[in-house]
Amino acid sequence: MTSPSSVRKYPTGGAGGVKPPAFTDSPSLFARNPSVLIFIACLAAFTLAVTLMSEAFGAGVISTSFVKTLGKTLCLCLVALAMDLIWGYAGILSLGHMAFFALGGYMIGMWLMYARTEEIVVTALSQGGLPATPEEISQGIATQIFGVVGSSDLPLIWSLAHSLPLQLSLALAVPGTLALVFGWLAFRSRVTGVYLSILTQAMTLALALYLFQNDSGLRGNNGLSGLQNLPGLDGTSQDIVSIWFFWASALALGLGYLTLSWVVSGKFGSVIRAIRDDEARVRFLGYPVEVYKLFLFTLTALIAAIAGVLYYPQAGIINPAELAPIASIYLAVWVAIGGRGRLYGAVIGAAFVSLLSSLFTSGRLPDIAFGPVALSWVNWWLVILGLAFVAVTLFAPKGIGGLFDRFQNLRTPDRKGAPLGPDDGSLQEQEAQQ
């Protein structure tokens, strides 16, 4: 270990000098983490810029569909933050967090679809001469929603779908409970490392397979659709709705970043980083490791669910393919490319890779001709992404975040040959030396 005199809080924000790490009377969160203020400022500036260039409130340079893409990207950044917390900080490579994301989306999608269908059904029935009875309305809604899977009964899980507050609480309760139960089962039997990764992957696969059934009560592989139409807002154009959601996503990302910075900067953050680096030692020191992990797993699942709640109304459709294991793997890819163990890394990685993905798979880029063979970006983007990911893992485990370390002149700590812990891609910020 380095001597206390050389320990410096990363970066010290002007105070300078020798200062032992203290958690009780430490300066404010922002003083300790200037990156938080920088991030919030960047996000605010970005939000303002997009608003001023949007079709609804500004110059109209940015199309509504691109505003939606940007809003969705912000949601993906939020779920990447959650992934970074669980993987980069706590060392638990969960390959199932997109399941919580999609579950949040399903829950809000149920309300959106129900309320919207209710409007349509009530309007249609009022043409008939008699005012509709509640039975007729619920029958009509059920037929409208479930006709496509050959059913006309509203399943039990839809019984709260009429109410936005109840369904919103479900959007947190369902993924939260799933994470709590699954995490409790997994952590108490000491499933760690790659086993846990595979188990989480199996969880999301099981959920996806279940939802693919027509009698799952969520319309099988049709999924929920028409989610971009907000009930009661027929007069409001999508231009404005998209900006609303963009703002909401930006707000959620800002708040999420703030919360997680606070979570990881204190004593709690030190404990979870210690769990990542040497779980057994933390346990021997008397910390209830399983409780920490379970709390973190559930917290990140909730953040993922909130991101999903904001994402799917902008996407307009959700189906079980969103829960496929590959989605969660992409999430890990974003965080790894951005740089794990640092919150801004996750945001940068998610924004960079997902925007690049939508650019390359949009089919708008011209094909590259190699003599007689034309290579289309749509076909080769995944190959590039896969190989780039391998290259990042092999040669730049710190990802894009490594560039920031260069700017700040942060170096990997020297432990005189001793290993840095199992995850040397994560930022060992307490030890990074200037």
Partner 1 sequence: MRLTALIVAATLWLAPALAFAEGQAAQIIAENRDQIEKPSRQTIGPVITALAASGDPMADDILSAWADKRLVIRKADNALLLATPDGDGLSLSALDGTPAGTATKADLTELKPNAGVRGLIAAALVQFTLTDPDPARRAAALTSIARDPTAETLEPLRAAIETETDPALKAQKQRLERFLTLRFDPDPEARVAAIESLGSDTALDVRAALNPLVATTRIAGAGAPQGQNVARSLTIGRDLNDSEAYALLVAANLAPARLTLQEQRDALLANVVNGTIGGIPVAELNTQAARDRAYTALEAAGTVAAAATDDEAKAALAAHRFFDVYVEPDPTVTDAARAALTRIDRKVSVMQAADLGLDALSLAAIFFLAAIGLAITFGVMGVINMAHGEFITMGAYTGFVVQLFVPDYTLSILIALPLAFVVTFGAGVAMERLVIRHLYKRPLETLLATFGISIALQQILKNVFGTQARPLTAPGWLDGSLTFNDVVSISYIRIAIFVLALVFLMFFLYLMKRTRLGLEVRAVTQNPAMAASMGINPDRINMLTFGLGSGIAGIAGVAIGLYAKVTSEMGADYIVQSFMTVVVGGVGNVWGTLAGATMIGSLQKLIEFLNPSNTLAAQTYMILFIILFIQFRPRGIIALRGRAAGD
CB of 221 to partner 1, least distance (A): 10
Residue number, 54 or 319, with CB nearest to partner 1: 319
For residues 354 and 334, give the distance between their C-alpha atoms in angstroms, rounded to a whole number: 8
Give yes or no for residue 131 binding partner 1 (CB under 8 A): yes
List 35, 138, 144, 197, residue binding partner 1 (CB under 8 A): 197
Q: 368-370 and 317-318: which strand pairing?
A: unpaired
Q: Which two tokens stand for residue 214?
A: 């027509």
Give yes or no for residue 246 binding partner 1 (CB under 8 A): no
Beta strands in 71-230 (DSSP E): 224-225
Query: Residue count at the site for partner 1 (CB under 8 A)?
Result: 59
Q: Which two tokens stand for residue 16?
A: 């300078």
Segment near partner 1 (CB under 8 A); pick from 6-14, 51-59, 127-135, 399-407: 127-135
Q: Site residues for partner 1, window 154-193 (CB under 8 A)?
A: 182, 185-186, 188-191, 193
Give yes or no for residue 124 binding partner 1 (CB under 8 A): no
Q: Which two tokens stand for residue 277?
A: 């680096």
256, 55 contact by CB (below 8 A): no
Give yes or no for residue 206 binding partner 1 (CB under 8 A): yes
Nearest to 207 by CA among 185, 179, 168, 166: 179
List 14, 16, 128, 235, residue binding partner 1 (CB under 8 A): 128
Segment near partner 1 (CB under 8 A); pick from 141-149, 207-215, 264-272, 362-370: 207-215
Quote the crossing angle between the two packed helices 97-126 and 134-146, to the nearest 10°: 130
What torsion do the CA atoms of 223, 226, 228, 229 make, to the nearest 10 degrees?
-150
Region of 150 please: left (phi>0), alpha (psi -120 to 50) or beta: left
Residue number, 263 or 329, with CB nearest to partner 1: 329
> In degrees rounded to 5, what are phi and psi of residue 368?
-100, 125
For residues 249 and 70, give the distance between their C-alpha atoms in angstroms, rounded to a whole number: 9
H or E segment at 375? strand 373-375
List 156, 369, 394, 418, residue binding partner 1 (CB under 8 A): 394
318's CB contacts (< 8 A; 6+ apart) are 102, 105, 106, 109, 223, 224, 225, 227, 312
List 307, 332, 343, 346, residue binding partner 1 (CB under 8 A): 332
175, 305 contact by CB (below 8 A): yes
Cα angle 252, 158, 179; round to 5? 50
Give yes or no for residue 368 binding partner 1 (CB under 8 A): no
CB of 93 to partner 1, least distance (A): 5
**Eight-class DSSP state of 350:** H
List 349, 399, 402, 425, residue binding partner 1 (CB under 8 A): 425
Amino acid type, 302: L
For residues 162 and 166, give the distance between their C-alpha atoms in angstroms, rounded to a whole number: 8
For residues 359 and 66, give the distance between their C-alpha atoms in angstroms, rounded to a whole number: 11
Give yes or no for residue 292 binding partner 1 (CB under 8 A): no
List 169, 387, 415, 434, residue binding partner 1 (CB under 8 A): 387
Residue number, 207 or 294, with CB nearest to partner 1: 207
CB of 297 to partner 1, least distance (A): 14
For the window 70-99, what string marks contact with partner 1 as x by the rule CB under 8 A? ---------------------x-x------
198, 148 contact by CB (below 8 A): no
Segment near partner 1 (CB under 8 A); pick from 12-20, 22-30, 146-154, 322-330: 322-330
Segment near partner 1 (CB under 8 A); pick from 4-12, 222-230, 252-260, 393-401: 393-401
List 38, 202, 365, 368, residue binding partner 1 (CB under 8 A): 202
Give residues in contact with partner 1 (CB under 8 A): 91, 93, 128-136, 182, 185-186, 188-191, 193-195, 197-199, 201-203, 205-207, 209-210, 212-213, 215, 325-326, 329, 332-333, 336, 379-380, 382-383, 385-390, 393-394, 397, 419, 422-425
